[in-house]
Amino acid sequence: YDCGGHFFLPSYLMRTHGSRQQQDAVEDAPPSQMQKIYEALDTLGSTKWRVNKRLLNVVESIWAAGGDIAGLVNRQDVSIPDLNSEDSSEIKEWRWSVRKAKKMNQELHSQRCDIELKLSVVARRMKDEEGFYYPHNLDFRGRAYPMHPHLNHLSSDLCRGILEFAEGRPLGKSGLRWLRIHLANLYGSGVEKLSYDGRLAFVESHISEIIDSADNPLGGNRWWLTAEDPFQCLAACINLAETLKSSSPHTVISHLPVHQDGSCNGLQHYAALGRDTVEAAAVNLVAGEKPADVYSEIATRYADIIQVNRKLVKQTVMTSVYGVTFVGAREQIKRRLQEKGHISDDQLLFSASCYAARVTLEALGEIFEAARGTMCWLGDCAK
C-alpha cells in the first residue's frame, strides 16, 4: 500500500500529448468507470520480471565481438569514401556519397546508444535481482505500455528475449504445446501462418537444430539466427530443450512469456463496427483453419513487379486506420526499402516508394471498402 511506480515517479494515467479535450475526459470520468482501468494497470505493474542471464550472456558476447548479427547494429562506422578524381560529375557524386555515409554513421551511433542504454541502464544492473516491476500507463488510444522507455517486454526482439517472468510455472500439457507453437511463431518466414498442426510439425522437424541452438548458440550451427525474432527464438529453444531432456517434460518450470497479438487491431474494430464478414475474415475475426494475413495479401498486389514482403506494407496498413496520408505512406515504405538495401539510387528509391504507397492504399480501399466508409462517416461526425 502507498508504494509503487506511480508514487515514486508521479505521472499521468494517459499520455494525451497535450490534448486538453482528452485530459478533461479522463479527469471527468466517474470513479466507477475508471476502476477496471486502475485494476488492469495494477495487475500489469505488479507482474514481476527478471533478466534471462543465458540470453544476456549471448547478447554480450555478440556485442563484444562487434555486433552486426541477430539484429544488433554494427559497432563499426561505414567508411567515408575517398575522392580519386578531378572530374566535376564524379566530385558531385562523391559529395553525395560522403553525405550519405555520414548520415548512416549518425544513425548507427544512435542505434548503438540505444542498445547500450538497454544493456547498461537495465540489463547489467538488474541481472542479479530476484525480480523487478514495470509501472504502466495508457497511450492516447487506451493501450497500456510500460513507463520505462528502454528495456521492457513490449519493445524489440532484443528486449523481449532478455526479459522473462520472475515467477515460473510448470508447463503442463497445454503449456508444452503452446511453447512449441510460440517457437514456430517466432521463427516466422511464413511458418507463423501455418495451421497449429503445421507449426507443431515444423518444430518437430527441427528438434536437432533447436537443441543445438540451446546448447551451443554461438559455436553451433546457429539455426536460431535464421529466425525473424532470433533472441526470442533462442529463449524458446532453451526452454524447449529443457523439456526434451526431462523425464517429465510437463513439469518443467517455464519463465517464458508467450506473446500473442491481434491481427491489425484497428481494422478488426472497423470490420466489427461495419458487421462485415469478408473484412472480418481478412483480419481473423472469423475462425479459420489457418491465420489470414492481410499484409501478405496486399503485398502480392505488386509482387510480380517488385520483390517485396509483408513487412514493407505492414506499417502503412496498421496506420491506415489513423488516417495515414499518401506522403506518410510513401515515407514509411521508403524507410523499409532503405532497410532492405536493394535500391541505391535515390531517384529510383523515391519512385518505387511512390508506386508502392499508391498500390498499398488502393488495395486497402478495395479490400476494406466498408471500413473506409465507416472511417469517412466518423470523420464527418467529428467535423
Over range 71-95, report the average pLDDT: 88
What pLDDT, on a 0 to 100 scale, did the predictor assign at position 9? 74
Does residue 11 surpass a pLDDT of 70?
A: yes
- Beta strands 163-165; 136-138: pairing state: unpaired
Over range 184-199, report the average pLDDT: 92
What pLDDT, on a 0 to 100 scale, did the predictor assign at position 18? 77
How confident is the prediction for the chain on average, in pLDDT?
Answer: 87
Choose the weakest-confidence range: 62-71, 152-161, 292-301.
292-301
What pLDDT, on a 0 to 100 scale, did the predictor assign at position 157? 94
Residue 60 grid cell: 554480450
| CA proximity to 312, closest of 363, 267, 347 | 363
In a domain, 337, yes or no: yes
**Domains of the chain: total:** 1
The helix (H) or strand (E) run that includes residue 169 is: strand 169-170
Calculate Rg over the CA atoms of the chain.
24
Domain that holds residue 333: 294-382
Residue 37 grid cell: 482501468
pLDDT digit string (tens) for 251-304?
Answer: 999 999 988 877 878 888 888 888 888 888 888 888 878 888 777 776 666 555
In a domain, 236, yes or no: no
First-to-last CA distance in the chain?
45
What pLDDT, on a 0 to 100 scale, did the predictor assign at position 68? 93
Does residue 198 surpass a pLDDT of 70?
A: yes
What pLDDT, on a 0 to 100 scale, did the predictor assign at position 321? 61
In a domain, 276, yes or no: no
Residue 211 grid cell: 537443441
| CA proximity to 317, closest of 340, 342, 338, 292 | 292
Residues 6+ apart with CB under 8 A from 233: 183, 186, 187, 213, 224, 227
In a domain, 115, yes or no: no
Q: How many CA atoms lie within 13 A of 339 on its CB side?
A: 12
Between the alpha carbon of residue 196 and those of residues 296, 344, 349, the distances in Å are 19, 40, 39
- Long-range CB contacts for residues 70-73, cutoff 8 Å, separation at least 24: 70/225, 70/230, 70/231, 71/156, 71/157, 71/158, 71/230, 71/231, 72/115, 72/158, 73/108, 73/111, 73/112, 73/115
Does residue 221 surpass a pLDDT of 70?
A: yes
* pLDDT above 90 coverage of the chain, percent: 47
Query: Following DSSP, what letter does each residue of 273-296 receive, concatenated?
Result: HTT-HHHHHHTT-S--SS---HHH
pLDDT digit string (tens) for 19-40?
Answer: 888 888 888 889 888 999 999 9
Over range 173-180, report the average pLDDT: 93
pLDDT digit string (tens) for 328-373?
Answer: 888 888 888 887 777 777 788 888 888 888 888 887 777 777 887 8
What pLDDT, on a 0 to 100 scale, did the predictor assign at position 304? 53
pLDDT grade for 2, boundaries at 50, 70 and 90: low
Enter the pTM of the model: 0.81
The helix (H) or strand (E) run that includes residue 7 is: helix 5-8
In a domain, 203, yes or no: no
In a domain, 305, yes or no: yes
In a domain, 181, yes or no: no
Residue predicted with more confidence, 224 or 314: 224
In a domain, 368, yes or no: yes
What pLDDT, on a 0 to 100 scale, did the predictor assign at position 90? 84
Does residue 75 surpass a pLDDT of 70?
A: yes
Q: How many CA atoms lie within 13 A of 305 on its CB side?
A: 7
